[in-house]
Amino acid sequence: MSREHDADAPDQYGLVGHPVAHSWSPFIHGMFAKATAQNLAYRLFDVAPQDFRRETLQLFAGGVRGLNVTLPHKQAAAELVNEMTPRAARAQAVNTIAFFEDTTLLGDNTDGLGLVADLERNLGVELAERRILILGAGGATRGVLGPLLEREPRALVIANRTPERAARLAAEFADLAEVRGCGFAEIAPPPFDLILNATSASLQGEMPPLPAGLVDERTVCYDMAYGRGHTPFTLWARALHAARTSKGWGMLVEQAAESFLLWRGMRPDTGPVLAALAQHG
Nearer to ligand NDP, 249 or 263 (CB): 249
Q: What are the DSSP calls for 169-190, one per residue?
A: HHHHTTTTS-EEEE-GGG--PS
DSSP 8-state class, residue 193: S
Q: What is the CA radius of gyration of the chain?
A: 19
Which residue out of 29, 65, 73, 74 is catalytically annotated? Answer: 74
Write down the H helix ranges in 73-162.
74-80, 86-91, 111-117, 139-150
Q: Which residues bind ligand NDP (CB under 6 A)?
A: 71, 111, 114, 136-141, 160-162, 165, 198-204, 206, 208, 224-226, 248, 251-252, 255
**CB of residue 39 vs ligand NDP: minimum separation in angstroms?**
26
Residue 247 falls in the annotated catalytic set: no
For residue 190, is the peptide bond before it cis, meaning its omega torsion is within 30 degrees of 0?
yes
What minimum distance in Å lies between the beta carbon of 136 and ligand NDP?
Answer: 4
Rounded Cα gap, residues 123 and 117, in angstroms? 9
* Omega of the bond leading into 19 within 30 degrees of 0 (cis): yes
CB of 141 to ligand NDP, least distance (A): 6
Are the C-beta atoms of residues 183 and 166 closer than 8 Å to each other? yes
What is the Cα–Cα distance from 37 to 58, expressed in whole angstroms?
28
Distance CA 199, CA 168 (A): 16
Task: Name the residue nearer to ligand NDP (CB basis): 160 or 234.
Answer: 160
CB nearest ligand NDP: which residue? Answer: 138
Closer to ligand NDP by Cβ: residue 203 or 278: 203
Q: Which is nearer to ligand NDP, 117 or 198 (CB)?
A: 198
Closest distance to ligand NDP from the beta carbon of 173 (Å): 15
Catalytic residues: 74
